[in-house]
Amino acid sequence: MFGDVKFVCVGGSPWRMKAFTEYIAAELAMEDPKSEYPNICAGTDRYAMYKVGPVLSVSHGMGIPSIAIMLHELIKLLYHAHCKDVTIFRIGTSGGIGLEPGTVVVTRQSVDATFEPKFEQVILGKTVLRNTDLDQSLAEELLQCSKELGQFETVIGNTMCTLDFYEGQARLDGAFCSYSEKDKRDYLIKAKEAGVCNIEMESSVFSAMCKLSGLRAAVVCVTLLDRLKGDQVISSHEVLNDFQKRPQILVGCFIKKQLMTKAQPS
């Protein structure tokens, strides 16, 4: 059932991964109007998984621990199904720094809260540092897709991955806040100067685990707001819905191109 998988897309929300599956089915002309795409993980409410042709879509919940559990299980699944040359994408949303909301960021390196490109994995109580480099040629190919599409702005840049959405991302609107608006601004400007384009909560462990297991990987997140201008998303529901489709459209374009190239006689 999984042996033909060549592309995996992971994202936070179950229903958005279902929507992506429907989108990719239409893009690849693989849709069956009568078919519902069944959740392969039905019976658990931890994750949802959908498959259409060579594309597997999986939800991962929020934060490093949640996506790490899913990735352990996904990597085992791909191994036992003898899948080869798999490309994996995390698609999602993020807070931008100094970018127009709606800009798509393809991650060069995932950095921690001190802007270092590393992920700290605790093993038997000891901290092991792991590399968070992503595939640069894949990032460039995605940027090229965006140019061909011409529908929205896409940049390549560093993505800061935090363990916390409020205090960890210098928000002023959480239940606790022990710093001033100036402290927040200074921190975000330092991040920007270190090459950080956006902030999210899963890219570091995703990069580290994909690198360790030899999966070609990219992180593609749209920015919903500019954190230098505020903490709360103020765009309309309609605009946000359009923004959230952008990573799907970009990754969909890439997958379609790849499959068309392979289908051509050499």
Q: Using the rule CB under 8 A, is 136 a contact of its own copies?
A: no
**From candidates 145, 201, 217, 253, binder to its own copies by CB under 8 A:** 201
CA distance 137 to 12: 25
Of 106 and 215, the one with the shorter C-beta distance to its own copies is: 215
Q: Using the rule CB under 8 A, is 65 a contact of its own copies?
A: yes
CA distance 209 to 79: 14
198 strand-pairing partners: 96, 159
* Residue/partner pairs of 259-266 with CB below 8 Å, 24 or more apart: 259/28, 259/54
Of 146 and 204, the one with the shorter C-beta distance to its own copies is: 204
Q: Using the rule CB under 8 A, is 80 a contact of its own copies?
A: no
Give me the amino acid identity at 135. Answer: D
In the complex, least distance from residue 87 CB atom to its own copies, rounded to whole angstroms: 17
Q: Using the rule CB under 8 A, is 240 a contact of its own copies?
A: no
Is residue 221 within 8 Å of residue 198, measured between CB atoms? Answer: yes
CA distance 259 to 245: 21
Q: Using the rule CB under 8 A, is 124 a contact of its own copies?
A: yes
Of 1 and 175, the one with the shorter C-beta distance to its own copies is: 175
Span 87-116, contacts to its own copies by CB under 8 A: 113-115
CA distance 54 to 13: 21
Of 27 and 227, the one with the shorter C-beta distance to its own copies is: 227
By rule CB under 8 A, what count of residues binds its own copies?
A: 48
Q: Using the rule CB under 8 A, is 9 a contact of its own copies?
A: no
Which residue, among 191, 195, 115, 106, has the nearest Cα to 156 in the 3D structure?
106
CA distance 215 to 254: 16
Contacts to its own copies by CB under 8 A: 13-15, 45-46, 61-66, 68-69, 71-73, 75-76, 79, 113-115, 121-125, 128, 162-168, 170, 174-176, 178-179, 183-184, 187, 201, 209, 212-213
